[in-house]
Amino acid sequence: MWSHRLVAGLLIPLSMAAPARAGEWRGGGKLLLATGVTTIEGAAGGGLATWALIAGNETRNGIGGSAHVTQVQLDDFGLTTFGAAIGAFDRIEVSYARQRFDTRAAGATLGLGRGFAFSQDIYGAKLRLVGDAVYDQDRILPQIAVGVQHKRGNRDGLVRALGAKSASGTDFYLAATKVLLDRSLVVDATVRMTKANQTGLLGFGGDRHGGYRAQFEGSAGMLVSRRLLLGAEYRTRPDNLGFAKEDDAFDLFAAWAVTRNVAVTAAYADLGSIATVSGQRGLYLSLQTSF
């Protein structure tokens, strides 16, 4: 929170334009965990659900950011995500994440070859519209944000052969997040308009459904200390492809703010059936640094 050297080149000119006068700059200002952690798609949120919170430790007086790496070790597959986000004035978030989905031994069974991997780049932007999830404790109104995630996969020919319409696509979402401080709860509900199969790793659209459909993702957690949030998440998925069923996903997570600048999230995740291989469950581990 106190180190802003990483973006110093960007900060100095912008802070002079900001309401805070240059020279009065000092980093930080969000409470622990009030920045959320990072989803597998690179946005501030839980692990599966994107929240309305803006990434980074800065308030309306500054620009902060975060970087993350996440590993999901499933029974037959592995998903690795890394990326970074910038949060400006507690209003706008831009993010980038790269996902790599490793089919490991199952790749041979599926006829792709052992260790065959699908990758995609995810470019995200989020705008906080109204509300303050943490401070507006006398209002029912949650913090509400809209966002977009443009995803570009690397296996165009293959995902088309599997029935997808495209290897790239764009999700749009509306997220509402609220900290119910008098009950030590954090809740989020997000609606996502998407065509993505397995978040886009298996392309967009399919032979069963081609167009945009609304999907739900949400989190509910309890703050057990100012450093530790325990909770659960749920995410529905479109199930567009005829060749392989896609299930809803859920997880049970623990997000721990080790310091102001480091958070570790561990989860048990159940992603259901992936590419005809059913019952994909496993350990989710994410490391985030924020400033």
Binding mask 158-197 for other proteins (x = CB under 8 A): -----------------------xxxx-------------
Among 5, 138, 140, 157, binds other proteins (CB under 8 A): 138
Which listed range, 27-35, 111-119, 148-156, 238-246, lies at the site for other proteins (CB under 8 A)? Answer: 27-35
The set of residues, in sequence order, having a beta carbon less than 8 Å from that of 102 and lying 6+ positions away, is 77, 78, 79, 80, 115, 117
According to DSSP, the β-strands at 92-102 and 117-130 are antiparallel
For residue 201, give the 3-state DSSP assignment.
coil
Among 10, 119, 127, 136, binds other proteins (CB under 8 A): 136
**13 binds other proteins, rule: CB under 8 A:** no
Pairwise CA distance, residues 172 & 174, whole Å:
7
Among 3, 59, 71, 168, binds other proteins (CB under 8 A): 59
Q: List Cα–Cα distances, 53 to 106, 134, 157, 169, in angstroms.
A: 37, 10, 36, 24
Pairwise CA distance, residues 135 & 131, whole Å:
9
* Smallest distance from other proteins to CB 257, Å: 12
Which listed range, 78-86, 134-142, 168-176, 201-209, lies at the site for other proteins (CB under 8 A)? Answer: 134-142
* Smallest distance from other proteins to CB 254, Å: 16
Query: Are 257 and 263 within 8 A, CB to CB?
Result: yes
SS3 content of the chain, % helix, strand, coil (to 5): 10, 50, 40
* Smallest distance from other proteins to CB 88, Å: 14
Comparison of 28 and 65: residue with beta carbon closer to other proteins: 28
**137 binds other proteins, rule: CB under 8 A:** yes
Binding site for other proteins (CB under 8 A): 19-20, 26, 28-31, 59-62, 90, 132, 134-139, 181-184, 223-226
